[in-house]
Amino acid sequence: MREKKDKGKKDARRKEIVNAAFELMLEKGYEDTGMQDILSKIGATKGCIYYYFKSKKDIAVAVIDEVIKPHYQSVWGNFYKSDDPLKALCLVIDGIYNSNAERLSKTGCPLGNLILEISAKDAILAEHTAGVIAIWRSFLETGLQKAKDAGILRANSGISSISSFIIASFEGCIMMSKSNQSKETLRDCFGSLKNYILSLENTEAVNLG
């Protein structure tokens, strides 16, 4: 019983470190976040952090795998189950705007920020961010293929290229809103992305429906 309690405390402390690093990297970037910043944020000693992680890079890997990846799985991982994946995809984008517009327009996208900052500098971190993109793409391709099979998506639509365009547009929208520090920019850009997605509808099937 005591061992289980001790393990719970250790797991909670480790999670606290990872969450603190996530917030700091979102605010300051990976390069400008130091181990001392993390220590100060959680009120821990250096030995505490090094008990769990060997380096800042190891913490960043945990941030990607344990915070960012599960978030993408949660947000994007279910829309394809809808009878109309295209409309469901637009609802996902609406949900992201409604819950996160203020923060995204100030800090940008955690995944996008890391990709821009470290993709050309660190192969290990780049591999982990690429893994999140691959999962995100797989969700989009699954949903688009389902829409295509159901006759909702135009038959001549290229699933892979559309998925790439949606990812690039989504990240670009957030980058533009961060540049302007404006959630209105994000709203308008997301609106254009949703219009694009809906333009992919097979209008004959929609009209028949």
Residue whose token pair is 């984008």: 93
List residues bridging with 201 in a β-sheet: 153
Q: What's the DSSP call for residue 155?
A: T
Give the span between the Cα atoms of 104 and 120, in whole angstroms: 23
pLDDT per residue as tens, the chain (209 positions): 545 555 566 789 899 999 999 999 999 999 999 999 999 999 988 888 999 999 999 999 999 999 999 999 999 999 999 999 999 999 999 999 999 999 999 999 999 999 999 988 999 999 999 999 999 999 999 999 999 999 999 989 899 999 999 999 999 999 999 999 999 999 999 999 999 999 999 876 544 44
What does pTM read for this prediction? 0.90
Tokens describing residue 54:
């060997």
| C-alpha to C-alpha distance for 183 and 100, rounded to whole angstroms | 9
Closest Cα to residue 177, out of 101, 112, 118?
Answer: 101
Task: Identify the burial level of 83 via C-beta atoms within 10 angstroms of its C-beta, where 0-12 means exposed, 13-18 middle and 19 or more buried.
Answer: exposed
* DSSP string covering 166-186: HHHHHHHHHHHHHHHT-HHHH
- Report pLDDT digits (tens) over 29-43: 999 999 999 999 999
Give the whole-angstrom CA distance, residue 148 versus residue 156: 9
**pLDDT value, residue 46:** 84
The H or E element containing residue 92 is helix 85-107
Domain with CATH 1.10.10.60 in the chain: 1-53
Coil/strand/helix, residue 83: coil
How many residues appear in the chain? Answer: 209
**Is 1-53 a CATH 1.10.10.60 domain?**
yes
CATH for the stretch 57-208:
1.10.357.10
Cα separation of 199 and 192, whole Å? 10
Delimiting residues of CATH 1.10.357.10 domain(s) in the chain:
57-208
d(CA 98, CA 69): 21
> Is residue 201 a contact partner of residue 153, using CB atoms and an 8 Å limit?
yes
